[in-house]
Structure 1
């Protein structure tokens, strides 16, 4: 059974957010959510029975003023969110994931992923990681790779831990949601292409990050990050205009009530606009695409405590709400 939110009131910044909801056993629909815990079905409000959040983002410049007007209209009938199911807020066409974007996190991962035969003291390996990171920051080259939309699940859905995943781990992240096509945009231009922000937990199986059969190949992100449900997303997309500074938000993950990650996005090496701009230099970013901005220190490898059956993760980012997911072990065949 999925973990339900304890409360939806005052969970996000600004006058409204976007969500994908459904009534029990009903179809999913795009919704305008207000901080008082109510939702408006946008299919009826905007006169489009085929409407989805992705289609809203496809015409974001046109849609945003209408959403603002609907949020201000208190006479429009709404439904309490507690009577509805909350799904991932958008089904993106592309997901751009990033790694090594928080200083302490990079050092922790470098130390945890000791190469076979590397018997150097931890202090020496930490110093090496710091040097590598400083060099990357000076060269201004973020580390971006591709994720699969099929890995996305809802913000309160159970997360199935595959039987083959020996070291499943959490990585809470701020995610930028694209609202205007972006190709080879500058850092200064990038912010205008972001429709809003949401929360992503970019789960990783640490045991399959590196190929064991041929170490020369390097990382294997398909295997380690893209199992079904490995990217809990949401609960909401909060418009960018409601977030004063995405580079100064608190990213917090609790495991069974104990705080494991708690860091500001100020600690990111490459800020949000830089990440979007960098991804756009190679790929054509489309409305609804996600740009995940990396995860701070405090993952399971750092604590020596990986995810297991029954664990409950609660992730929050300032102004974006809270997601809460339970881990369920897949039965071994």
Structure 2
């Protein structure tokens, strides 16, 4: 495990001998927040008075309050209770352009440079006058930063998508762009796992994509290891985001390439829904997914994901269990349509 590299402390949820507790991590020591803030039983309780709680925590001397060694603890998803995942798709400009060129979108019969130019013009216009593309993930799909990722028993071509997670700290509804950052508690790392063969719905093509089954399988949102308070992240638009698969660098980008920035995403999402403290807005994934490389996740793969200042995830991929869910047990045609048994 590695601590986040910030000038301050980080927050998380930890487990010791079966007991979960909210903690403050500094270097390799973890302070049980319940010992210093008796009304705080889990990280979500901090949001009731976020800044005041942080001020109190900055005065803590870990050695004086019985800190535990980090290496003795299991690291759980940092924010408990786990909130809704509010996810932005197609939100890194360079990634959008690469996808458009790969699929030969744009003017028919044009030379190789024209599809990129067409995509750039269309993308930039969407950024100026259009809406972000946003969907939701469910809390039960979230796992910890060092937990295994389980491949599904139905569906294939399971892909990675490393993303900056923005943790909402106040109830947000119809928030303006210029006020949006006031609703941010902090930041974390989220790997948005997707079973690509589960995305299309050929049986009801008019419905298009099925994000529920493709992205909400158990363990499909490795999150954390920590919640880094926004006061310790001077500029979230200047972070480096990297994912390695078995040591090979697959994704490498800066967060300044977002088509819709964090304030815009918060303003848009809150124009539709009420965002609650503990919800996590994930901001899109840069180029370098498995779909780009033609290489999807397999049993035994190791993913290492980093975002500068936010720590490191390390997740091992486990193969399917080999047992079909009851829904699919007597539906071989549906299994085949979904990409076959997991592999």
TM-score (norm 2): 0.87
**Alignment check: 8 A CA contact 1:183 1:280 kept:** yes
**Alignment check: 8 A CA contact 2:30 2:62 kept:** no
1:12 pairs with one of 2, 5, 30? 5
1:264 pairs with one of 237, 251, 254? 254
Deviation of the 1:238 alpha carbon: 0.4
Q: Matches of residues 1-333 of structure 1 in structure 2 within 5 Å?
A: 5=1, 8-9=2-3, 11-24=4-17, 26-34=18-26, 36-48=27-39, 51-70=41-60, 72=61, 74-90=63-79, 91-110=81-100, 123=112, 129-333=119-323
Larger Cα-atom Rg: 2
User: C-alpha deviations, 1:111-162, integer Å up to 9, x for none?
Assistant: 66789xxx98994765554343223112142111111111100000001010
TM-score (norm 1): 0.90
Looking at structure 2, the residues matched to 44 and 305 of structure 1 have their Cα atoms a distance apart, in angstroms, of 47
Looking at structure 2, the residues matched to 211 and 58 of structure 1 have their Cα atoms a distance apart, in angstroms, of 42
SS across alignment from 1:213: helix
Looking at structure 2, the residues matched to 232 and 113 of structure 1 have their Cα atoms a distance apart, in angstroms, of 29
Count of residue pairs the alignment pairs up: 319
**Alignment check: 8 A CA contact 1:171 1:202 kept:** yes
SS across alignment from 2:120: helix
Looking at structure 2, the residues matched to 127 and 227 of structure 1 have their Cα atoms a distance apart, in angstroms, of 37
Structure 2: segments with no counterpart, 5+ residues: 324-343
The RMSD of aligned alpha carbons is: 2.1
User: C-alpha deviations, 1:139-193, integer Å up to 9, x for none?
Assistant: 1421111111111000000010102121100000001001111111111111111
Q: 1:289 to 1:138 in 2, by over 3 A?
A: same
Looking at structure 1, the residues matched to 91 and 276 of structure 2 have their Cα atoms a distance apart, in angstroms, of 23
Deviation of the 1:75 alpha carbon: 2.3
Looking at structure 2, the residues matched to 220 and 308 of structure 1 have their Cα atoms a distance apart, in angstroms, of 22
Looking at structure 2, the residues matched to 129 and 304 of structure 1 have their Cα atoms a distance apart, in angstroms, of 22
Q: 1:187 to 1:311 in 2, by over 3 A?
A: same
Looking at structure 2, the residues matched to 237 and 60 of structure 1 have their Cα atoms a distance apart, in angstroms, of 13
Deviation of the 1:45 alpha carbon: 1.7
**Alignment check: 8 A CA contact 1:208 1:220 kept:** yes
Q: 1:85 to 1:113 in 2, by over 3 A?
A: farther
Q: 1:114 to 1:307 in 2, by over 3 A?
A: farther
Structure 1: segments with no counterpart, 5+ residues: none
SS across alignment from 1:46: coil
**Alignment check: 8 A CA contact 2:97 2:116 kept:** yes
Q: 1:161 to 1:187 in 2, by over 3 A?
A: same
Q: 1:113 to 1:162 in 2, by over 3 A?
A: farther
